Amino acid sequence: MLPETIRWNGKSIEILDQRKLPDAVEYIHCTSVEHVANAIETLAVRGAPAIGIAAAWGIVLANRQGESIDLSIERLQKTRPTAVNLFWALNRMMNASDYELEAQKIQKEDIVNNRRIGEHGEKFLQSDSMVITHCNAGALATGGWGTALGIIRSAREAGKNIKVYVCETRPLFQGARITAWELERDGFDTTLICDSMAGYLMKKQKVNAVITGADRIAANGDTANKIGTYSLAVNAKKHGVLFLVAAPKSTFDLSIPNGDAIPIEERSGSEIRLLPGGQTVPEEIKVWNPAFDVTPFELIDAIITEDGVFKPN
Domain 6-113 class in CATH: mainly alpha
Q: CA-to-CA distance for 117 and 308, rounded, in angstroms?
A: 7
Rg (CA), the chain: 19
Local structure of 283: helix, strand or coil: coil
Residues serving a catalytic function are 215
Domain ranges in the chain are 6-113, 118-310
CA proximity to 73, closest of 15, 63, 98: 63
pLDDT at 276: 85
pLDDT at 88: 98
The count of residues in the chain is 313
Q: CA-to-CA distance for 302 and 292, rounded, in angstroms?
A: 20
CB 32 within 8 A of CB 169: no
Domain 118-310 class in CATH: alpha beta
pLDDT by position in tens, the chain (length 313): 899 999 999 999 999 999 999 999 999 999 999 999 999 999 999 999 999 999 999 999 999 999 999 999 999 999 999 999 999 999 999 999 999 999 999 999 999 999 999 999 999 999 999 999 999 999 999 999 999 999 999 999 999 999 999 999 999 999 999 999 999 999 999 999 999 999 999 999 999 999 999 999 999 999 999 999 999 999 999 999 999 999 999 999 999 999 999 999 999 999 999 988 889 999 999 999 999 999 999 999 999 999 999 987 7
